[in-house]
Structure 1
Amino acid sequence: MKEKFIKNKQGLTEEEFLKQYDSAIYEKPSLTVDMLIFTVMEEEKENYRKLAEKSLKILLVKRGNHPDMGKWALPGGFVLTDESLDDAALRVLRKETNIENIYMEQLYTWGEVNRDPRTRVISSSYMALVDSSSLSIKAGNNEEDARWFNIEYNLLSENSLDIESGESFEEIVEIKLWNNSEEISAKIRVIENIDGRIRREIIESVGLAFDHGKFIEYAISRLRNKVEYTSLAFNLMPELFTLTELQKVYEIIQGKELLAAAFRRKISNMVVETNEFTKDVGHRPSKLFRYNPRWKRIK
């Protein structure tokens, strides 16, 4: 109780201070959430006897108003005064995908001063992973269209820098995004300082709004890193799946082929075998598995 009567240098208690506090003293930046919604989808196959090819896709929306009108952007929105960042992100997810209970995590906060020409806007980016079979995509009120884009992540160059400048290493990364009707891209410079801090700069952006190319590059890097030591990839899977399908999703995320024997040893505790098999396929039926939520407890 005594804490309520502690006074500051002006002789005010906390209650008195809050009553006279002027919130207009500081200019208020706007705050947004931007969603990186990933899924894995099967591409059309020419031969029904072959396994369908899968690809990692990201949801983008075409802006229907200035600034960057007509360009493709991440789904997002301004945070309301009565909601948390997570609540704002969930609201955007529900609006764009029409489903709930999606895996979601906060990735990074982007606060460059001039990143939005309208006003000072700070954006918190979130990554969501969804099973494509449960999706119902629609464009928002201020958007012309909402579409899935294939993703290609290319490391163009790696260079050691002059340590005396405070920068030790850089990568130039190209992100290509395309679907049946459009192709867009961005080139990003990723600089690591000698103290371990990393910053990202847009070198070139074609068809992408704002600085969203950086958001996508960072999210893919994060996804590739986390899939190595977590069960993240299972959020992209249906309830039942084959081990071949699961391996393919890992390969798509990591951008490389994996040895089947080593992969199956790695994920052996993470899956549970069922008594069900694939149906309506042009090849030999395969055993179906499901995710084991207790895998971390297995020695």
Structure 2
Amino acid sequence: MRDDLDERGGGSVDPDDDESNAVIAAVGRQLKLWREGAGLKPQELANALGYSDNLVYKVEAGTRIPQPEYLTKADEVLGAGGKIAGMQRDLAQAKYPKKVRQLAKVEAEAVELGEYSNHNVPGLLETAAHARALYEMRLPAYSPDEVDRLVEARLSRQVIFERKPLPMLSFIIEEVVLRRPLGGRQVMKEQLEHLLDAGRLRNVTIQVMPTDVEVHAGMSGDLRLLTLDDGATVGYCEGQLPTPVSSVPKRVRVLELRYGMLRAQALTPRESLAFIEKVVGEE
């Protein structure tokens, strides 16, 4: 039971993420100071919060990320008047993986984004159920709280659809991605329907790359291009350039060339939506 309370009360820390860990450690120190100021021992605070004393020790030591509910309860028990609950803002980004934080930061500045995915539905277009299914099938297996953290981090990037002014977003997805029922038929059907909804937005273009094309510019793998407000373009990829992220013009032009060819080789946006509708009907 106490282990269950640990799982609900905190998330795992990434030992290789120094930036995030500094924030988590600072929050832990503050929580310890508030507890000591209230004259409570760790066990006493744990009993009042409904969590294990082991979790209290880990949170205060900065080796466990407290969930929002933990901070809310601690604020009430310790009479912090909102000062502890307010630390949720400090942890909101720190709890996400470093890779996600970096990508979200660039996406927040982008006025245009283009993405080619040859293996999965792009994260910006994933439903919560589909994202969870992908993380739950990873090997070595993630713990339940790691899955929760990763799904939440992925979905947090989708605020890009709510930005004003709206950025222009284009996606190219392989046909096989649409036909592989990861997570089960129902999860995939809901995912495909979500793609249709997204593809009908005025600022979103979705194109499908047929499996039977004979010339394909994306054989080197996924890629992402982001044009920023100042006109600069950032390229992101895994395996296509010496580094995953680059703003070096010569390297970015390579990705721009490939992405332009991919758009020409894929089905048109209208044909793509019709194709996705057809696949939905087959589910």
Larger helix proportion of the pair? 2
* Bin for the TM-score computed over the shorter chain: under 0.3
Which is greater in Rg? 1
Give the structure with the higher percent strand.
1
Bigger relative contact order (CA 8 A; separation at least 6):
2
TM-score (norm 1): 0.27
